[in-house]
Amino acid sequence: MSSIRHFQVTFDCAEPARLAGFWCEVLGYVVPPSPEGFTTWEEYHRSLPPEEEIYFSASDPSGAAPRLLFQRVPEGKVAKNRVHLDVRAGTGLVGEERLATLEAECARLVALGGVHVRTMPADDEDESCITMQDPEGNEFCLD
């Protein structure tokens, strides 16, 4: 049996700081303190040539959930994600209450730069969920 209990989720992207900011807002994560000698990450990034801003991270302030790493890559996204995050906004809710909660969270995330892809209403087997994309087109679900 493996003893590994911690992992991070890494996003390939064009703008690491921007995407990290979006996911911090989605999940209530925080960015780590800026590097020594800099008062903010923006100040640090301004000190680098643009091609050197290769990553940015975000962490759960409680330390319980995985760290997110956003690494800049030269190519854009060209296909559907093979892995995606399920953002558990409606846990424990059913029916209209669940759908209303998911729709409210969807509206909040659209205002932050997310994209609503489709709403899948409840049926005889599953509760409602909403498929979205982050500002760089990475799919995720509100469920």
- Chain segment 5-17, per-residue pLDDT in tens: 788 999 999 988 8
Domain range list for the chain: 8-72, 85-142
| Largest CA-CA distance found in the chain, in angstroms, rounded | 58
Quick: pLDDT tens for 61-117. Answer: 999 999 999 998 888 888 888 889 999 999 999 999 999 999 999 999 999 999 999
Give the chain's mean pLDDT: 91
CATH class as words, domain 8-72: alpha beta
Residue with tokens 């399920």: 86
At a CB cut-off of 8 Å and minimum separation 6, what does 16 contact?
A: 53, 54, 55, 56, 70, 71, 72
* 53 has a pLDDT exceeding 70: no
In this prediction the pTM is 0.86
Instruction: Inform me whether the pLDDT recorded for 54 exceeds 80.
Output: no
CATH 3.10.580.10, applies to 85-142: no
Parallel/antiparallel/unpaired status of strands 129-133 and 139-142 = antiparallel
> In this model, does residue 45 exceed pLDDT 90?
no
Angular region, 92: left φ>0, alpha ψ -120 to 50, beta rest: left
The larger pLDDT score, comparing residue 45 to residue 111, is at 111
